Amino acid sequence: MDHVMEIKIYYEDTDCGNVVYYANYLRYMERGRTEYLADRGVPVKALMDQGVLFTVSRAEIDYKSSAHYGDTIIVETLLPEITAASLLFEHAMKEKTTGRLLVESKARLVCVGADMKPKRIPKDVAERLRGK
């Protein structure tokens, strides 16, 4: 199961070449993951209140094409892997009008407690993310 969201590109998102600044795609990945979790009944704020945090341990981004000021991009988020203590998210970002692929990316998130030490993903959270 995946999640799809739109992001409109504003001037503040771009660099002096009028293209989306490369690091902003990390922010778009984060938004996609946050909305993915919320749509499955696992809002980040509720997790934080329980002392369950997810920290990025690895991020990979392959830039395919540039987005520009005024574009709208589609962020597709998938969760193909859940382990005892980590989540692997995959993202594809496309320009809305043309469908042109902009970015393919992955991010591994590790579950940690408030003490920032790794811990198992709570069973109820894992079940909701698996759709059970």
pTM check: above 0.85: yes
For residue 91, give the CATH number of its domain: 3.10.129.10
DSSP state letter for 28: H
Tokens (6 digits) for 38 = 């919320």
Q: Which of 2, 13, 15, 62 is catalytic?
A: 15
What is the arrangement of strands in the sheet containing 53-63, beginning at the earlier edge strand?
A: 2-8, 72-82, 86-95, 101-112, 53-63
Interval 42-70 mean pLDDT:
96
Number of domains making up the chain:
1
Containing structural domain, residue 96? 2-130
Is 62 a residue of the active site?
A: no
76-129 pLDDT, tens digit per residue, is 999 999 999 999 999 999 999 999 999 999 999 999 999 999 999 999 999 999
